[in-house]
Amino acid sequence: MKLLYWNARGIANDDTQRALLDMVRIHRPLFVCLSEPFILLESINRSFWRSLGLVPITTNNRGLQAPNLWVLGQEALQPTVISSTDQQITFSCSLDGLLCVITAVYARTTIVGRRMLWQDLSMINTSQVYGRPWVVFGDFNCILGAHEKRGGGSPNLTSCMDFQQMCTVCGLIDIPTKGLAYTWSNRRIDEKLDRALGNLEWLEAWQVMECSTLAKSTSDHCPILLSFQRFALPCHSPFRFQNMWLQHPNFLQLIREFWTTLEFHGCPMFILSSKLRALKLMLKNWNKVHFGNIHTRVEATRQALDGVQSEICNLGPSDERFSREDDAHALFQVELSLQHTMLRDKSRVRWLKDGDRNTAFLHNLVRICRSNKSITSLFDGSAILQDHDSIASYIVQHYTNMFTRDQGIIDTSLVERTIPHVVTGADNEILTAILTHMRRLC
């Protein structure tokens, strides 16, 4: 799961919109927070937001002034706006079964103006958080200390102390930012104005969490991407035969030679199961050596093809370059065909013919099959269980009750009186006796 914040410095121009489209396409954030759009939200055609897979949620309240902070999110989400002022928007939303509080900030540039924001955050912490996971991220227009500034004079000590005091009062902890050390620059002064802060509950809720900067393009601010994920139990996928292995020229010969060299002793069923177990282990190791990560190989061959074509475009055509382009194109098609075969197997779609090409539809089917393996919520009467531990306890208790004898049921001996006894006591002793000399029986 991801949250994206960007001080875009104007969203009306085509370059900024293309940059936003590229970021959302790559990272697929749950929520996108934009500050300083310089236009009204209604000025942007809704078709643009649909192309991003987002819908407008709310804008901040600045009285007679136009909003300077927008929040957009995926359509399936249903956030509840808790607070909206001229410097922040706070909303709550269920993320992976946890009710979290998220605050997007665009602080004023003056010390006195920011003190109103610090008071708002303190009030939200007191009245709305209630020990829930809480993250505050955005453009704070101030820094925590001199180590977050390069160039120009020393930072204002009062501003830094006010910021630090707010973090202490609200119990917010700075989440380390990966990437550029300074998120804003005017080519003379560099400062870390954009960041993410989280309370202790937020930090404990996610086992994997990362805040990183994205490349600056049309703005003097770096976009901030906050990624987080709850602890997930390791999923051991069962061994499955991959049809793409059949495209390897030596695959059948490899199987034949390996099968004939195996020697096991015992009954036929034991020999068969032992050979299959050994063959499965061999195929796993062989797949890692000869196929590996097919997605990485497709990307590598695509980059190689792009490199040759760029060389032809920049340096001009030649027979040698055309030959290398043909080889790169052929290799790319081979790897793409293998990936297509693997994805078709994983999607479990039985095509009437060979199937569609490697499209987004096929990738979505793979994602749907993968998501169907997990249980994210269960109904317990009228209550909805979304916590992992609650779901696990409910399932265990359900099957415990199912396979436990109901003490309220009275045995009337109806079964014994209705169904005649066919197996005698002597027959039962033979059937339940421990087998001996198993090799002789096989």
Tell me: pLDDT of 364 over 50.
no
Residue spans of alpha helices (H) in 262-380: 268-290, 294-315, 319-347, 360-371
The pTM (predicted TM-score) of the whole model is 0.54
User: CA dihedral defined by 54, 59, 65, 68, rounded to 10 degrees?
Assistant: -60
Compute the distance between CA of residue 23 and CA of residue 41 in angstroms, rounded to an integer: 19
Residue 58's closest CA among 78, 379, 47?
Answer: 78
- Reported as a single tens digit per residue, the pLDDT across 27-84 is 899 999 999 998 998 888 888 888 888 999 999 988 888 899 999 998 888 899 999 9
200 to each of 161, 203, 356, 423, how far by Cα in Å? Answer: 21, 5, 48, 66
- Reported as a single tens digit per residue, the pLDDT across 224-239 is 999 888 765 455 566 6
pLDDT band, very low/low/confident/very high, at 438 (cuts 50, 70, 90)? low
Residue 5 contacts residue 138 (beta carbons within 8 Å): yes
pLDDT band, very low/low/confident/very high, at 265 (cuts 50, 70, 90)? confident
Residue 321's closest CA among 308, 330, 332?
Answer: 308
Residue 336, pLDDT score: 75
For 326, residues 6+ apart whose C-beta sits below 8 A from its C-beta are: none
Residue 89 contacts residue 103 (beta carbons within 8 Å): yes
Superfamily of domain 2-229, CATH level 4: Endonuclease/exonuclease/phosphatase (3.60.10.10)
What integer is the mean pLDDT of 335-342?
71
What integer is the mean pLDDT of 177-198?
90
Tell me: pLDDT of 123 over 70.
yes
Tell me: pLDDT of 360 over 60.
no
Residue 426: Cβ within 10 Å count: 8
The three-state secondary structure class of 209 is strand
Residue 368, pLDDT score: 40
Residue 343, pLDDT score: 67
Residue 235, pLDDT score: 52
Give the domain ranges of the chain.
2-229, 293-374, 380-406
Q: Is the dihedral of CA 371, 374, 380, 383 positive or negative?
A: negative
Q: Is the dihedral of CA 292, 212, 174, 155 positive or negative?
A: positive
What integer is the mean pLDDT of 374-398?
73
Tell me: pLDDT of 382 over 80.
no
